[in-house]
Chain A
Amino acid sequence: MKQTDFLSLLTTTAAGRPTQAVAIAGTLFFVFCWTCSVIVAHEVDASSSVDFERQIRPILAEKCLACHGVDEVTREAGLRLDSQEGAFRGGDSGLPAVIPGNPDTSLLLQRVLSDDDGEQMPPPHSNLDRLTKPEVELLRKWIDSGAQYTQHWAFIQPTKSLVGSTGQSESPVNAADAIDFFVAQKLASLGLVGSAKADIRQLCRRLYLDVIGLPPSLAELAEFEKEGYSQTVEKLLGSERFGEKWARPWLDAARYSDTNGYEKDLRRDQWIWRDWVIAAFNSDMPYDQFIIQQIAGDLLPNATQEQIIATGMLRNSMINEEGAIVPEEFRMVEMFDRMDCIGKAVLGITTQCAQCHTHKFDPLTQEEYYGMFAYLNNSYEAQSWVYSEDQLATINEIHHKRSEIEEQIQQSQPAWQTELESWINNLSESQPEWQPIRFDDLNSVSGLNHPVQQSDLAILMLGHRSDDVYFIGQPEIKAITGMRLEVLCHDDLPFSGPGRSDVGSWNIREVEVSIQAPESSQWQELTLCNPTADFSEAETSYEEGKKKKGPVEFLVDGKDDTAWQSDRGVGCRNSPSVAVFQFESPLQASSGTKLKVVMRMTDMVGCCRLSLTSSPDPRSPAISYAAQLASMVSAHDRTPEQRADLFAAWRKSIPELNQYNERIDQLYSRFPTARTSVLHLKERQPQSRRETHLLNRGEWSRPLHPIQVSVPAAWHPLPTNAGAGEEAPRLQFARWLVDRKSPLAARVAVNRVWQSIFGTGLVETSEDFGTRTAVPEYREILDWLAVDFMEHEWSTKHLIRQIVSSRTYQQSPAADAQMITIDPGNRLLQRGPRVRVDAEVMRDMVMSIAGVIHHELGGPSVIPPVPQNVLDYNYTYPSYWTPATGTQRYRRTIYGFRKRSMPDPAMSSFDAPNGDFACVRRIRSNTPLAALTGLNETVFVEAAQGLALRLLRECSNNDRQRIDLAFELCMARLPTDEERAVVLELLNSQRKRVADGWLNAREIATGLADKLPELPDGSTPQDAAVWTMLARVLLNLDETICKN
Chain B
Amino acid sequence: MNIQKEIQQARAGYLKRRWFLRDCGVGLAGIAATSLLMSDKSLGWTTEPNGPTASNPLAPKLPHFQPKARRVIYMFQAGAPSQLELFDYKPELKSRDGQLPPASLLEGYRAAFIDPNSALLGGKFKFARHGECGMELSEVLPQTASIADQICLIKSLHTEAVNHAPAQIMMNTGSQQFGRPSFGAWTLYGLGSESSDLPGYVVLTSAKGTSGGASNYGAGFLPTTYSGVPFRSKGDPVLYLSNPAGIDQLAQRETLDTITRLNELSMQVIGDPQTAARIQSYEMAYRLQTSAPELMDLASEPASILELYGIKDPKEATYARNCLMARRLIERGVRFVQLFHEAWDQHSNLNAGVKQNAADTDRASAALVKDLSQRGLLEDTLVIWGGEFGRTPMVQGGNDGRDHHNRSYSVWLAGGGTKAGSVYGQTDELGFNVVDQPVHVHDLNATLLHLLGLNHLKLTYRFQGRDYRLTDIHGELVQGIM
Q: Which residues of A contact B (CB under 8 A)?
A: 27-31, 33-35, 37-38, 62, 127, 261-263, 265, 318, 320, 322-325, 333, 336, 344, 350, 352-353, 360-362, 441, 443, 446-448, 760, 764-765, 767-768, 770-773, 813-817, 820, 823-827, 834-836, 867-870, 872-876, 900-903, 905-906, 908-909, 911, 914, 916-917, 923-933, 935-937, 941, 944, 976, 978-979, 982-983, 985-986, 989-990, 993, 998-1005, 1007-1009, 1025, 1029, 1032-1033, 1036-1039, 1042, 1044
A1003 to B210, CA, bound (A): 37
A990 to B269, CA, bound (A): 28
Residue among A336, A985, A990, A999 making CB contact with B177, cutoff 8 Å: A336
Beyond A447-B114, A813-B272, A928-B285, 4 extra complex contacts between A and B, CB < 8 Å: A324-B162, A911-B224, A931-B285, A999-B247
Residue numbers in A under 8 Å from B210 (CB-CB):
875
Please determine whether A924 and B40 come into contact, CB atoms closer than 8 angstroms: yes
Please determine whether B239 and A932 come into contact, CB atoms closer than 8 angstroms: yes
Whether, in the assembled complex, B276 has its beta carbon less than 8 Å from a beta carbon of chain A, the answer is: yes
Interface centre among A30, A261, A324, A926 (most CB of B within 10 A): A926
Chain A residue at minimal CB-CB distance from B25 = A31
Residue numbers in B under 8 Å from A998 (CB-CB):
1, 248, 250
Interface centre among A768, A772, A825, A869 (most CB of B within 10 A): A869
Residue numbers in B under 8 Å from A1025 (CB-CB):
246
Residue numbers in B under 8 Å from A924 (CB-CB):
39-41
Please determine whether A928 and B36 come into contact, CB atoms closer than 8 angstroms: yes
A989 to B213, CA, bound (A): 45
Interface centre among B26, B36, B112 (most CB of A within 10 A): B112
Q: How far is the CB of A433 from chain B (nearest CB, A)?
A: 33
Knowing A322-B163, A817-B271, A824-B45, say if A925 contacts B464 (CB, 8 Å).
Answer: no
Give the secondary structure class of A's interface: loop
Please determine whether A30 and B276 come into contact, CB atoms closer than 8 angstroms: yes
Chain A residue at minimal CB-CB distance from B279 = A1038
Whether, in the assembled complex, B4 has its beta carbon less than 8 Å from a beta carbon of chain A, the answer is: no
Whether, in the assembled complex, B211 has its beta carbon less than 8 Å from a beta carbon of chain A, the answer is: yes
Please determine whether A333 and B40 come into contact, CB atoms closer than 8 angstroms: no
Chain A residue at minimal CB-CB distance from B162 = A324
A1037 to B208, CA, bound (A): 38
Knowing A322-B165, A816-B271, A928-B37, say if A999 contacts B112 (CB, 8 Å).
Answer: no
The 0/1 profile, CB within 8 Å of A marked 1, for residues 22-59 of chain B is 01111000000000111111011111010001110000
Q: How far is the CB of A514 from chain B (nearest CB, A)?
A: 17
Whether, in the assembled complex, B205 has its beta carbon less than 8 Å from a beta carbon of chain A, the answer is: yes
Please determine whether B45 and A760 come into contact, CB atoms closer than 8 angstroms: yes
5 A–B contact pairs at CB < 8 A? A917-B179, A926-B38, A929-B229, A931-B285, A983-B262
A1000 to B245, CA, bound (A): 9
Residue numbers in B under 8 Å from A906 (CB-CB):
240
Please determine whether A127 and B458 come into contact, CB atoms closer than 8 angstroms: yes
Residue numbers in A under 8 Å from B234 (CB-CB):
868-869, 872
Q: How far is the CB of B169 from chain A (nearest CB, A)?
A: 9
Whether, in the assembled complex, B415 has its beta carbon less than 8 Å from a beta carbon of chain A, the answer is: no
Whether, in the assembled complex, B99 has its beta carbon less than 8 Å from a beta carbon of chain A, the answer is: no
Whether, in the assembled complex, B223 has its beta carbon less than 8 Å from a beta carbon of chain A, the answer is: yes
Knowing A873-B209, A1038-B263, say if A814 contacts B269 (CB, 8 Å).
Answer: yes
Residue numbers in B under 8 Å from A127 (CB-CB):
455, 457-458
Please determine whether B41 and A925 come into contact, CB atoms closer than 8 angstroms: yes
Please determine whether A982 and B265 come into contact, CB atoms closer than 8 angstroms: yes
Chain A residue at minimal CB-CB distance from B54 = A34
Q: How far is the CB of B350 from chain A (nearest CB, A)?
A: 15
Whether, in the assembled complex, B109 has its beta carbon less than 8 Å from a beta carbon of chain A, the answer is: no
Residue numbers in A under 8 Å from B410 (CB-CB):
none
Residue numbers in B under 8 Å from A1009 (CB-CB):
245-246
Interface centre among A443, A979, A986 (most CB of B within 10 A): A986
Q: How far is the CB of A814 from chain B (nearest CB, A)?
A: 5
The 0/1 profile, CB within 8 Å of A marked 1, for residues 317-359 of chain B is 0000000000000000000000000100001000000000000
Number of interface residues of B (CB under 8 A): 107
Whether, in the assembled complex, B281 has its beta carbon less than 8 Å from a beta carbon of chain A, the answer is: yes
A820 to B162, CA, bound (A): 52
Please determine whether A875 and B214 come into contact, CB atoms closer than 8 angstroms: no
Interface centre among A998, A1038, A1042 (most CB of B within 10 A): A1038
Residue numbers in A under 8 Å from B403 (CB-CB):
324, 447
Please determine whether A1033 and B240 come into contact, CB atoms closer than 8 angstroms: no
A600 to B112, CA, bound (A): 21
Residue numbers in A under 8 Å from B176 (CB-CB):
333
Residue numbers in A under 8 Å from B287 (CB-CB):
928
A1001 to B229, CA, bound (A): 33
A107 to B146, CA, bound (A): 63
The 0/1 profile, CB within 8 Å of A marked 1, for residues 223-245 of chain B is 11100011011111011111111
A930 to B239, CA, bound (A): 10
A772 to B254, CA, bound (A): 50
Q: How far is the CB of A924 from chain B (nearest CB, A)?
A: 5
Whether, in the assembled complex, B65 has its beta carbon less than 8 Å from a beta carbon of chain A, the answer is: no
A916 to B213, CA, bound (A): 11
A283 to B403, CA, bound (A): 53
Whether, in the assembled complex, B270 has its beta carbon less than 8 Å from a beta carbon of chain A, the answer is: yes
Q: How far is the CB of A1004 from chain B (nearest CB, A)?
A: 4
Residue among B20, B25, B240, B278 making CB contact with A933, cutoff 8 Å: B240
Residue among A263, A834, A993, A1003 making CB contact with B211, cutoff 8 Å: A263
Residue among B46, B259, B342, B457 making CB contact with A1037, cutoff 8 Å: B259
Within 8 A of A (CB), among B270-319: 270-279, 281-282, 284-285, 287-289
Please determine whether A931 and B282 come into contact, CB atoms closer than 8 angstroms: yes
Q: How far is the CB of B476 from chain A (nearest CB, A)?
A: 14
Please determine whether A765 and B465 come into contact, CB atoms closer than 8 angstroms: yes
Please determine whether B43 and A923 come into contact, CB atoms closer than 8 angstroms: no
Please determine whether B213 and A901 come into contact, CB atoms closer than 8 angstroms: yes
Please determine whether B20 and A27 come into contact, CB atoms closer than 8 angstroms: yes
A436 to B163, CA, bound (A): 33
Chain A residue at minimal CB-CB distance from B205 = A873
Whether, in the assembled complex, B8 has its beta carbon less than 8 Å from a beta carbon of chain A, the answer is: no
Please determine whether A262 and B211 come into contact, CB atoms closer than 8 angstroms: yes
Knowing A916-B215, A926-B281, say if A982 contacts B262 (CB, 8 Å).
Answer: yes
Whether, in the assembled complex, B251 has its beta carbon less than 8 Å from a beta carbon of chain A, the answer is: yes
Chain B residue at minimal CB-CB distance from A37 = B53
Whether, in the assembled complex, B115 has its beta carbon less than 8 Å from a beta carbon of chain A, the answer is: yes
Whether, in the assembled complex, B178 has its beta carbon less than 8 Å from a beta carbon of chain A, the answer is: yes
Please determine whether B40 and A926 come into contact, CB atoms closer than 8 angstroms: yes
Chain B residue at minimal CB-CB distance from A823 = B45
Residue numbers in A under 8 Å from B455 (CB-CB):
127
A1039 to B279, CA, bound (A): 12
Knowing A27-B20, A989-B254, say if A1008 contacts B270 (CB, 8 Å).
Answer: no
Q: How far is the CB of B154 from chain A (nearest CB, A)?
A: 26
Residue among A37, A903, A937 making CB contact with B214, cutoff 8 Å: A903
Whether, in the assembled complex, B130 has its beta carbon less than 8 Å from a beta carbon of chain A, the answer is: no
Residue among B37, B179, B245, B404 making CB contact with A1004, cutoff 8 Å: B245
Please determine whether B464 and A350 come into contact, CB atoms closer than 8 angstroms: yes
Knowing A262-B211, A824-B45, A1039-B266, say if A344 contacts B239 (CB, 8 Å).
Answer: no
Residue numbers in A under 8 Å from B214 (CB-CB):
901-903, 914
A37 to B47, CA, bound (A): 10
Please determine whether A29 and B38 come into contact, CB atoms closer than 8 angstroms: no
The 10 closest A-B pairs by CB, nearest first: A825-B45, A447-B113, A901-B213, A1003-B246, A1004-B246, A350-B464, A34-B55, A263-B211, A931-B285, A825-B44
A881 to B69, CA, bound (A): 42
Whether, in the assembled complex, B164 has its beta carbon less than 8 Å from a beta carbon of chain A, the answer is: yes
Whether, in the assembled complex, B396 has its beta carbon less than 8 Å from a beta carbon of chain A, the answer is: yes
Chain B residue at minimal CB-CB distance from A967 = B262
Please determine whether A1004 and B466 come into contact, CB atoms closer than 8 angstroms: no
Residue numbers in A under 8 Å from B277 (CB-CB):
926
Whether, in the assembled complex, B261 has its beta carbon less than 8 Å from a beta carbon of chain A, the answer is: yes
Whether, in the assembled complex, B255 has its beta carbon less than 8 Å from a beta carbon of chain A, the answer is: yes
A216 to B272, CA, bound (A): 23
The 0/1 profile, CB within 8 Å of A marked 1, for residues 58-99 of chain B is 000000000000000000000000000000000000000000
Q: How far is the CB of A624 from chain B (nearest CB, A)?
A: 38
